[in-house]
Chain A
Amino acid sequence: MITRRNLLKTIGAGFPMTAFAQMSANPAAPRQPHFTPRAKHVIFLFLNGGPSQVDTFDPKPALQKFHGKPMPTPNLKSERKTGNLLGSPFTFKKYGQSGIEVSEIFPEIGSVIDDFCVIRSMHTERPNHEPSLLLTNCGQRLPGHPSMGSWITYGLGTENQNLPGFVVLCPGLPVLGPILWTSAYLPGLFQGTYIPNNEKEIDKLLPNLRNGRYSAAEQTAQLGLLQKLNRRQMEREGADPQLEAGIQSMEVAFRMQTEAADAFDITREPEKVRASYGDGDFARGCLMAARLVERGVRMVQVYYGDDQPWDSHDDILDHRRLARTADKPIAALIRDLKQRGLLKETIVVVTGEFGRTPATEVSGLVKVQNGRDHNNHGYSSLVAGGGFRGGMTYGATDDFGFQAVENPVDVHDLHATMLHQLGLDHKRLTYRYSGRDFRLTDVHGNLIQAIIES
């Protein structure tokens, strides 16, 4: 019996000399989805920390009117104590043909808003970062389950065998760290390959990519010897798919040395392109994401920054500073993907793990008086490309932007819909582990038909 687990022990990497049967046994090779996909890639832009919906994509006139007053409706539970309502310090303006209102801190995103579906009715389970980060990334509240990128590469394989299928870019580490891109019980090759994109040197970006000592010619001679010895073993003992896969894998590794170095090197982009993204780690991450997707990487996740920058407990005006280095890269990425003909087949998601309270935070710290607490009851996520409908808003929060009340969208629903666009039925994308079928959406998830092109 050939089980998937057995198959995963072997890998042929699409080499002419490999038997066809062997090639199909490569678990990272592209795999047929469940049905015809609309999208092939995902770029997941994570504004980690919890951006405030009422200051970005969900304008609330009532909030301005009641600024400084207690909320007339009952307060919902958030992590800490909140006080009176806090009007947004930012103004909103209509953009594009769709006329979707966007905050003044995101004028560039405003200029491409017709490409985005703005979901204004997101919600999740807990007002704490950790469970919400896990839910957004892995579909489960507790650690130890595979991330979305792992599920997607497990389901679809990846197109470029010389690059990892799932790449995570983050300057430093987000809260909780690598558990957010773990493959958990899925085989390790589906885990996210973490790249600290604040590093400028290629060696620090991807470990073991370069040999500090020997030239390419010297390495070629060494590889020749090695493969001769590997082949000799099989001549003596008989062909073995496992050993054959090892040989192929080594060939690919050898080629990765040049191909991966090229993919991550954004200095090879024309000056004009680089300038359009602007400066900063996040801009660099967005541009890298475009290059990687162009080369067939299945999913790239770009964290805005180390730790949780968008966690504006103390002062919501911090959002202006943060937006300065997020606005331009996001818009540039959308335009650039379009330019490269990739937006149609690439889902671009912009979201945090939750939103923020419309009321000011009063956490017991005497000094805190202008910030917002975590809010899992309602927040906004943006999705573009990959067959999602641009220039629309979906769902709504209440008058103050606290709770999703119209067409609420659970994070599992978003996962299910993304998988659907990739040609995967979220209920059929399962992995049997320790006697149970697991899936990204656990026992939840509904396809949101209204936000995808028919």
Chain B
Amino acid sequence: MNWVLSTALLGSVCFAAAADTPEERFETKVRPILAKNCFACHTASKMGGLALTSRESVLAGGKSGPAVVSGKPDESRLILAVRQGDAVIKAMPMTGKLKPDEIAALEEWVRDGAVWPASAKVQAATGQITPEQRAFWSFQPVRKGTPPAVANSEWSRQPVDQFIYAKLRERGLQPAPRAARATWLRRVTFDLTGLPPTPEETDAYLNDKSSQAEAKVVDRLLASPRYGERWARHWLDVARYSDDRLESQKELPHPNAFRYRDWVIAAFNNDMPYSEFVLGQIAADLLPEPQRTKLLPGLTFYGLSPEQQDERVDATTRGFLGLTVACAQCHDHKFDPIPQTDFYALQGVFNSTVVDEVPLAPEAEVAAWKAHKKRLDDKEAELRSFQDEQAMIVAAMLAAQTKDYVAAVAGTRNPDGLDPETLKRWREYLDLAKQHDHPYLDNPRDGEKLQTTVLALLAEKKEIDQKNLIRLGGSDARGDLSGTELLSLDRAKYRFYNELFGARKSVLHFAGKDLDRWLGALHLRHLAALRAGAEELKKTLPPQYPFLHAVKDSDKPKNANLLIRGSRDNPGAEVPRRFVSILSPAAPKPYTQGSGRLELARAIASIENPLTPRVMVNRIWQHHFGQGIVRTPSNFGQLGERPTHPELLDYLAARFVESGWSVKAIHREIVLSRAYASAWARSAANEEKDAANLYLWRANRQRLDVETMRDALLAAGGNLEQAGGGPPLRLTDDKNFRRTVYGYRSRRKLDGTLALFDHPNPNTTNEQRNVTNVPLQRLYFLNNPFVMRQGAALAARLNGPTDEARIRQAYRLLFARQPDAAELRAGLAFLKSEKDAWPRYAQALLASNEFLYVD
């Protein structure tokens, strides 16, 4: 008895210590689960109408019904949602599945009556960053760890290989053998320069048996101007580079955008430190000389999107930091520690930034051009206004002859002395009017009456226009005065007026050259002088001076107001301009210098910032391997992917900063590794464990992107123009043999070939290109005139003595290898039996998979 009692007591004591009452169980077991996984969306912002803030709100549930049926876990939507097995109820939380014991705790809580103490009502906390959130991997300082020891001589020479190999071992994956040397050369040449190796380069490398052969190739490629042309393009995707802006009805080119493109190319070629590259694009205008002038073209990063502040926040935070701050426009970020205030803090910075045209010519030249342009505009306006006045005078005079014309149309008057063209127009008009009820033409034979009506109409319109002009303050331009009460003609009169006097196809209106014949000698002389003047000014107007699409601080920088739920009609408190909270060691300090752009730029380019180097080395990695170590390159947050090789990522990020932010240093780390040299190969065992090749047990076979594809077609034809830079050329231009990076990029209408081969839409920042494989792309290879011309050009440059020799030449040019016997046979057979065979054979090679893919 005693024993029983004491055990029971003991048990109860222990139990109390853990969680005695349902209230305590809620606090210790249930609430932490809800707080960690559910509160972000189901407190203040009530996603799906569901607020998990009190017992009542839980029982009431959301749009689709009660979240909890007290005592019945199997009927409670909340439980079904976290079990993630229901066909209809959405699996929760979105960040992954809860652990079994967490699900069990929630089930127990529901079974026990879903107790939620009234005192424990959840207040929606905003802007709070929890220690768990702060502990998220990507916000931790970069740690350069020691590469793991590797007992494989092939994989132990470089840190990159040690990290990769250790993971392969850990996962039980067997690395593919080294690729053939020629394959490696083709791969690294395409990767670094976007072009295939020439036969000479292939020979030089294959004959170089020294241990430094690869390093020499890499040095050569990195020193080539072609390198910058290739790698700038990767950044231009992120920077949503375009040569025009998205306009509604017409193309509106950014005539100097190319200066930014060329600056990015030069930055890569010169291995500009990435920190400087960042500073330049965000705040070059605020830097001291000589940095300022050197980096100023970078500001086009913002100069290209003049009116969309939220887009600027998005491009800045995703592009440089891998953070989706723009998701916090309407509410605190649902998954990442980004309070809504962060968005408005940055928006304040960009609201205080305005576009600025920075001329690159002497002041006098700029002033002279502007003055000339103004003279031209004025002269053209004078010409137009004179013509409009004269046209009106002519129309009024003709109106005063209405009865004569009407009579002539009716056949009751001889047309002598009347203008044949005007008569023709009256005839057509009166015929047309007969077909419909016309309020003023019921009796067109009564010319007298009609003339009176027309003249009265003209007078009335003139009076109304004059009165309206006075009401509008003397200008008929749209503007602030548009609210003025205006007078108008009665609708039927308005209609009639337009038919007779309207500028567009009316009976009595004569314009342009048609007007000239009505004018007397004096008027004609004046008109000729105006025309000649405008013409001369137009002819002598020099091309506009060069300038940069830059930005500068506004005169009065000011903070933005938070918009509650993102609604402009519901402004909240003012938010000081400052940096993102999670990346600030303590509470972020408000910016004090102008817009704060320079402070922002320095915070992003700081060696203390763990995201900036990680995000950039990951982008570099992605373009070498086809996938990043983090496979969401612009999202290093909760919903982004986790790094497959976190230590490797940190090693590279640390190396990046140590090397003085040298992009080329990172290329060398990567492309000289054994991992980079692996072959593409099949392996059933590996594919079973890692079909997506996350751990890089083999090379990824990659389709050429559109730039590389077109450039390779040009290289094949031997007509690729090396010169680059300067204003963009259209890719549809038959004479355009320059590299594709120099082709026109449009936000309004992306070039057809670019769009067909997955070039990103340059309206938003892009992290990774899609790779699609659709028949329309193959039609391009079958029938596009450019491809056919390149096939012919390739055929024409093969100059071997026999068909076989030429086939061999073609394979060396295109694939850096010799054809095998079967390929040779197939080629020879085709060449023998077909007419016009060589261009068609060459085109077939260009259309082959081997041409389009790099192993």
Contact = CB atoms under 8 A, between A and B. Distances in A.
A212 B840 contact: no
Interface in B478-508: 478-479, 481-486, 488-489, 491, 494-495, 498
Contacts of A161: 775
A229 B823 contact: yes
B470 to A, nearest CB: 11
A246 B773 contact: yes
Interface stretch (A237-245, A296-304, A322-330): A237-245
A179 B15 CA distance: 63
Interface in A233-292: 233, 235-240, 242-243, 245-247, 249-250, 252-254, 256-257
A229 to B, nearest CB: 5
B818 to A, nearest CB: 12
A366 B840 contact: no
Contacts of B694: 1
Given A164-B776, A228-B826, A315 B820 contact: no
Contacts of B478: 80, 363-365
Given A144-B761, A214-B840, A245 B246 contact: no
A8 B701 CA distance: 15
A230 B639 contact: no
B691 A436 contact: no
A362 B763 CA distance: 34
A217 B482 CA distance: 67
A173 B749 contact: yes
A392 interface: no
Chain B CB within 10 Å — which of A213, A228, A435 has the most? A435
- Pick the 10 closest A-B CB pairs, nearest first: A364-B482, A435-B639, A369-B488, A253-B778, A435-B635, A144-B764, A253-B775, A252-B775, A208-B779, A238-B682
A209 B779 contact: yes
Contact of A218 (B311, B692, B840, B845): B840
A49 to B, nearest CB: 12
A362 B692 contact: no
B847 A226 contact: yes
A191 B483 CA distance: 43
B778 A250 contact: yes
A249 B749 contact: no
Contacts of A436: 324, 327, 639
Interface in B748-770: 748-750, 752, 755-758, 761, 763-764, 767, 770
Interface in A1-33: 1-3, 6, 8-11, 13, 27-28
A437 B249 contact: no
Given A130-B248, A364-B481, A253 B691 contact: no
A207 interface: yes
A391 B634 CA distance: 50
Given A232-B822, A250-B847, A179 B763 contact: yes
A434 B636 CA distance: 9
Chain B CB within 10 Å — which of A89, A143, A226, A317 has the most? A226
Contacts of B752: 207
B844 interface: yes
A8 B771 contact: yes
Contacts of B830: 221-222, 225
Nearest to B826: A228
Interface stretch (B451-459, B658-666, B782-790): B782-790
Nearest to B767: A434
Nearest to A178: B749
A317 B775 contact: no
A452 B635 CA distance: 41
A362 B471 CA distance: 13
A243 to B, nearest CB: 5
Contact of B691 (A1, A219, A235, A254): A1
B774 A189 contact: yes
B485 A83 contact: yes
B249 A175 contact: yes
Contact of B850 (A83, A208, A233, A249): A233
B358 interface: no
16 contacts: A1-B692, A9-B772, A9-B773, A11-B772, A177-B748, A179-B761, A184-B761, A235-B822, A240-B680, A242-B853, A246-B773, A250-B782, A253-B776, A364-B477, A370-B488, A435-B335
A377 to B, nearest CB: 15
Contacts of A317: 495
A76 interface: no
A256 B486 CA distance: 59
A249 B773 CA distance: 7
A242 B704 CA distance: 13
Nearest to B335: A435
A73 interface: no
A182 interface: yes
Interface in B838-855: 840-841, 843-845, 847-850, 852-853, 855
Contact of A8 (B692, B764, B770, B826): B770
Secondary structure dominating the interface of B: loop
Contacts of A229: 823, 826, 844-845, 848, 850
A163 to B, nearest CB: 9
Interface of B: 90, 94, 246, 248-249, 308, 310-311, 318, 324, 327, 335, 464-465, 468-469, 472, 476-479, 481-486, 488-489, 491, 494-495, 498, 632, 634-635, 637-640, 680-682, 691-692, 694, 701, 703, 747-750, 752, 755-758, 761, 763-764, 767, 770-785, 788, 820, 822-823, 826-827, 830, 833-836, 840-841, 843-845, 847-850, 852-853, 855
Contacts of B784: 207-208
B331 to A, nearest CB: 11
A253 B482 CA distance: 56
B691 A208 contact: no
Nearest to B780: A208
Given A8-B771, A162-B775, A208-B779, A434 B826 contact: no
A226 B484 contact: no
Q: How large is the interface on A (under 10, 10 to 19, 20 to 34, 35 or more residues)?
A: 35 or more
Given A188-B774, A218-B834, 13 more contacts: A3-B692, A143-B763, A179-B761, A207-B779, A209-B783, A211-B783, A230-B849, A236-B820, A239-B682, A249-B775, A253-B779, A256-B775, A364-B477
Contacts of A351: none
A362 B784 CA distance: 51
Contacts of A363: 478, 482
Contacts of B472: 364, 366
Given A246-B849, A364-B482, A434-B324, A188 B495 contact: no
Contacts of B637: 435
Interface string A160-177: 011010000000010111
B340 to A, nearest CB: 16
A246 to B, nearest CB: 5
Contacts of B849: 230, 233, 243, 246-247
B750 A178 contact: yes
Contacts of B847: 226, 250
Contacts of A233: 848-850
Interface string A178-214: 1100101101110101000000000000011111111
Given A232-B820, A232-B822, A221 B834 contact: yes
A339 to B, nearest CB: 30
Contact of B482 (A80, A142, A208, A249): A80
Contact of B248 (A8, A129, A162): A129
A434 B755 contact: no
A28 B477 CA distance: 51
Interface string A64-81: 000000000000000011
A211 B839 CA distance: 14
Contact of A176 (B246, B494, B778): B246
B826 A188 contact: no
A103 interface: no
B248 A257 contact: no
Contacts of A435: 324, 335, 632, 635, 637-640
Chain B CB within 10 Å — which of A10, A185, A364 has the most? A364
